[in-house]
Amino acid sequence: MSYCASRFRTVRRSTHEVKVGQVGVGGSNPVRVQSMTTSDTQDVAATVKQSIALAEVGCEIIRITAPNVPAAKCLADIRSQFSAAGFAHIPLVADIHFLPSAAMEAVEHVEKVRVNPGNYADKKKFAVKEYTDADYDRELQRLHESFSPLVLRAKTLGRSLRIGTNHGSLSDRIMNRYGDTPLGMVESALEFLRIGESHGFNQMILSMKSSNPKVMIEAYRLLVEHMNRAGMRYPLHLGVTEAGDGEDGRIKSAIGIGSLLYDGLGDTIRVSLTEDSVYEIPVAQALVKKAMSLWKPETDATAEHAQPDRVDPFHFTKRETSTLTLAAGCVVGPEQPPRVIVRTTLTALSSPESEIANPKLNDTPAEGLLVSIPSAADLAALPATIPVGRFLVLELASALSPAEVQSALAARRNSVVLLRTFTAEEADPLRAFAQLVRTHGHHLAVATTDDDLALLAPVLRELGDDRLLFTFSGFRSPVSGILAHPTGRYRALVDSLATIGSRAPVWIRNTSDTTVAGDPSFLSRLLDASILTGSLLCDGLGDLVSIETEADFTRATKLSYNVLQGAGARISKTEFVACPSCGRTLFDLQTTTQRIRAQTGHLKGVKLAIMGCIVNGPGEMADADFGYVGGAPGKINLYVGKTCVQYNIPQAEADGRLIALIKEHGKWVDPAPVTVP
């Protein structure tokens, strides 16, 4: 594995610099933040106004769609007026999909042109065809002839290019040979990269976007692996396309972008939200700040472990674990979704009016209730029972002895998990607590470090996995206060478990010790939880999750489930794939998305795609159940999967027709009636 220097530390991948106008991307430059205007490009005044608004909130590179030659011609006036407003130093990028002629016009006026290799001089009609090697070579030659003029003109003018591959718009040629896979995305980009290099042109940036964070993460890693083999050092543009809006959009973006930044990959990013573009910038800036606070240069690439971990970074496989039954109907183990633990208090635990005591108040209740137990008196104050289907986690102070805990455990019928930190010198307490939970039918959560775990290995082998689970402790040095790389430390913990032959489940805890270069804002806490939990889940690691940085019980519960959904690890509500607006969009995406969510948000497990145009629509909907796509001004096309089943529906009728389509396919349930207490 060579896609990154270390899976346990954040070592920045070195790249050559690409100049986008006056802004350097890659090399020793910081990660650049960019976004996109949403106005009709031919409305020059509106596009300049949006560009200025983005620049004023810190956007460093601004992209503008150019769907046709007339729109591309407008880029000249947009560039001129934007510069006259005092922003000559901020580069503009033309976004091109279908028309090489539009690209050839746009390159005359702006500093960079983005092309989509799945659409640029290629076809995407979901046609099935067997390509012989000779057929394939002829197609590549045709591609060379179509793309070379843009490369040569960009080289002459000192422009840069982005080869922007989208999972949702791979060409039929790529799909038929490689399938709808990360490898297909990589090959699609490399074909264009090789054409550029054949002309001595290296001012190119690459992206591998998908609405599915797992696919996106795997594709970028695979791209870097292939580039490393070929000695290529091109910068990367990171983004999760069609991430959606609100909390869900921020979570999906943080999982995909943050995971790669923490791997040391990425030189410029865009957070794609179905909101006004200015709201993307603070999220992107926060992600960049967190990653760069952890980055080490590639010259300092000595890994903390001599061998890479055992995770296949290019294919998702869930780690195999032993099976633990923590409560009636709540099992941790193979084929089980990650379980949610939420911190609470003894007072709330004892209150019959609380949501904790009445899970029916929440459609997705926490399965584990975490309570701090600093003294034996607190053990005595525990309520006799907790709701059926839930388990209790008691976080024990290190001063509490097994004897003090024993009487509380012996009296309990519900399953209890004892959580305690064990250092390398505490083999005897570990053995005593493990014997205690075995005697009374409970479980032990061992909080430790990968280094301590290695020294505790003899006693852990003796105890076995049938009553144990593990979590990480000790992210911050008590002397320096320096934060270790949280994702890397969990990876190292899992690696150490594999070394000693343990298949015990792993609990991912988000605590104040796992916050990175943050502030006390909810956004910062959300990003930390999404990156740590989401990146591990996308690698198949993690069996229990807690977000303890959120004090409110209900909020912490919902955030946990939203992160699980964003990582594709546990579906608890409707999944929305919604693209951000741009000048190609044929209806108001923000209000439409909110309106459809209000009508369908109760359909647990149903995936709906809401797309402004057909550029990525059919492809990104390949793994969606239903799609709502702009087909023409005021007209909507409805899809089932990637198949369009209804064309040019008046928008006023489209919502009702979508619901009828969902009912027709047996995926509709009526929303639960709202009860007023």
Strands (E), 185-328: 204-209, 237-238, 268-269, 324-327
Q: Alpha-carbon distance 9 to 391, whole Å?
A: 34
Same-domain check for residues 108 and 189: yes
For 425-445, give one letter per residue: b (16+ CB within 10 A) or e: ebbebbbebbebbbebebbbb
| Cα 84 versus chain centre, distance | 38
Q: Is the pLDDT of residue 618 over 70?
A: no
Residues contacting 507, CB < 8 A, separation 6+? 341, 445, 469, 470, 471, 542, 543, 544, 545, 546
CATH number of the domain enclosing 639: 3.30.413.10
For residue 672 the two structure tokens come to: 């639960």
Task: Write out pLDDT tens, residues 111-139.
Answer: 999 999 888 866 655 566 777 888 888 88
Same-domain check for residues 513 and 623: no
Contact 564, 340 (CB under 8 A): yes
Residue 126 Rama label (left phi>0; alpha psi -120 to 50; beta): left
Task: Write out pLDDT tens, residues 371-430.
Answer: 999 999 898 888 877 777 889 999 999 999 999 998 888 777 777 999 999 999 999 999
Same-domain check for residues 451 and 366: yes
Last residue in a domain, options 549, 566, 583: 566
Task: Write out pLDDT tens, residues 545-566.
Answer: 999 999 999 999 999 999 999 9
* pLDDT band with cut points at 50, 70 and 90 for residue 676: very low
Residues contacting 490, CB < 8 A, separation 6+? 472, 506, 508, 532, 536, 541, 542
Q: What is the mean pLDDT of the chain?
A: 89
Last residue in a domain, options 192, 214, 235: 235
Q: Alpha-carbon distance 642 to 622, whole Å?
A: 5
Among the residues of 441-574, which ranges form H helices?
A: 450-455, 457-463, 486-499, 522-538, 553-566
Same-domain check for residues 484 and 363: yes
| Cα 255 versus chain centre, distance | 2
Whole-number pLDDT of residue 620 = 57
For residue 564 the two structure tokens come to: 């699980």
Whole-number pLDDT of residue 445 = 96
Contact 16, 27 (CB under 8 A): yes
Same-domain check for residues 598 and 523: no
Same-domain check for residues 528 and 609: no
CATH number of the domain enclosing 480: 3.20.20.20
Contact 266, 611 (CB under 8 A): no
Contact 627, 609 (CB under 8 A): yes
- Domain-located, residue 603: yes
Side chain identity, residue 272:
S
H-helix or E-strand spanning residue 215: helix 213-229
Q: Alpha-carbon distance 400 to 60, whole Å?
A: 54
- Domain-located, residue 272: no
Query: Residue 462 class from Cβ within 10 Å (0-12 exposed, 13-18 middle, 19+ buried)?
Result: exposed
Whole-number pLDDT of residue 361 = 47
- Domain-located, residue 278: no
CA distances from 473 to 419, 450, 650 (A): 11, 9, 57
- Domain-located, residue 447: yes
* pLDDT band with cut points at 50, 70 and 90 for residue 298: low
- Domain-located, residue 409: yes
Phi, psi of 479 (to 5 degrees): -90, -55
The number of beta carbons lying within 10 Å of the beta carbon of residue 230 is 12
Whole-number pLDDT of residue 23 = 98
Side chain identity, residue 661:
L
Same-domain check for residues 585 and 647: yes
Residue with tokens 């998990």: 417
Number of domain units in the chain: 3
Same-domain check for residues 228 and 347: no
- Domain-located, residue 345: yes
* pLDDT band with cut points at 50, 70 and 90 for residue 495: very high
Same-domain check for residues 581 and 557: no
Q: Is the pLDDT of residue 582 over 60?
A: yes
Q: Give the range of the structural domain holding residue 113, as residue numbers without chain letter.
A: 18-235
DSSP state of 416: E
Q: Alpha-carbon distance 97 to 171, whole Å?
A: 12
Q: Alpha-carbon distance 52 to 62, whole Å?
A: 10
- Domain-located, residue 255: no
Task: Write out pLDDT tens, residues 337-359.
Answer: 999 999 999 888 877 666 665 55
Task: Write out pLDDT tens, residues 449-493.
Answer: 998 998 999 999 988 888 999 999 988 776 666 778 899 999 999
For residue 3 the two structure tokens come to: 């896609």
Among residues 242, 238, 191, 189, the alpha carbon closest in space to that of 217 is found at: 238
- Domain-located, residue 258: no
Contact 127, 177 (CB under 8 A): no
- DSSP per-residue letters across 387-408: -TT-EEEEEE-TT--HHHHHHH
Query: Residue 81 class from Cβ within 10 Å (0-12 exposed, 13-18 middle, 19+ buried)?
Result: middle
Whole-number pLDDT of residue 306 = 46
Whole-number pLDDT of residue 299 = 60
For residue 2 the two structure tokens come to: 């060579």
Question: Is the model more confident about 245 or about 188?
Answer: 188
Among residues 18, 15, 29, the alpha carbon closest in space to that of 155 is found at: 18
What's the CA angle centered on 216, arms 472 and 605, to 5 degrees?
80
Residues facing residue 509 across a β-bridge: 546
> Helix or strand or coil: residue 283?
helix
Q: Is the pLDDT of residue 616 over 60?
A: no
Q: What is the mean pLDDT of residues 660-674?
A: 86
The number of beta carbons lying within 10 Å of the beta carbon of residue 43 is 15
Q: Is the pLDDT of residue 89 over 70?
A: yes
Same-domain check for residues 509 and 622: no
Question: Is the model more confident about 44 or about 477?
Answer: 44
Residues contacting 98, CB < 8 A, separation 6+? 67, 119, 120, 615
Q: Is the pLDDT of residue 226 over 90?
A: yes
Same-domain check for residues 610 and 532: no
Question: Is the model more confident about 483 or about 47?
Answer: 47
Same-domain check for residues 230 and 331: no
Residues facing residue 243 across a β-bridge: 578
The percentage of the chain sitting over the pLDDT mark of 90, rounded to a whole number, equals 61
Last residue in a domain, options 206, 235, 264: 235
Side chain identity, residue 242:
E
CA distances from 534 to 65, 143, 248, 510, 562 (A): 31, 37, 12, 11, 10
Question: Is the model more confident about 622 or about 283?
Answer: 283
H-helix or E-strand spanning residue 318: none
CA distances from 518 to 173, 293, 511, 658 (A): 45, 10, 13, 42
Contact 297, 526 (CB under 8 A): no
Q: Alpha-carbon distance 641 to 297, whole Å?
A: 44
Side chain identity, residue 367:
E
Residue 429 Rama label (left phi>0; alpha psi -120 to 50; beta): alpha
